[in-house]
């Protein structure tokens, strides 16, 4: 039962961490693009580019996290706990 609670808490922490990272990447790209559009008077071009860069960055973060978790789950139990012999 304790293990189940620990996994739940760990999963929630990872989900919140990923959600804030994704939101920050998209937000920085979007608002950075808007700021550059206002500075250089380019319409909405840089806003769209900034948003797309934010989405691409967040996609890369999710891909890396997925690969990291799949590598952890494919390791033997002794190596996951740090008990390498």
Q: Find where tokens 């967040």 sit.
A: 58
- Residue 9: the pLDDT is 86
Structure-block tokens of residue 9 = 């808490």
Distance of CA 75 to the CA centre of its chain: 23
Q: What are the distances in angstroms from CA 33 to CA 1, 11, 38, 69?
A: 48, 33, 9, 33
Query: Which residue stretches of 1-85 are H helix?
Result: 2-40, 45-74, 77-80
Nearest residue to 25 (alpha-carbon basis) of 62, 65, 68? 62
Question: What local confidence, expressed as pLDDT, does residue 2 receive?
Answer: 61
For residue range 27-70, list pLDDT tens digits in order: 999 999 999 999 999 999 999 999 999 999 999 999 999 999 88
């Amino acid at each position: 039962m304790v293990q189940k609670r620990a996994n739940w808490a760990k999963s929630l922490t990872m989900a919140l961490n990923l959600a804030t990272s994704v939101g920050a990447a998209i937000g920085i790209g979007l608002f950075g693009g808007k700021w550059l559009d206002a500075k250089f008077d380019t319409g909405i071009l840089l806003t769209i580019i900034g948003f797309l860069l934010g989405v691409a960055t967040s996609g890369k973060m999710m891909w890396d996290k997925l690969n990291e978790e799949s590598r952890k789950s494919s390791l033997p139990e002794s190596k996951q706990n740090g008990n390498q012999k």
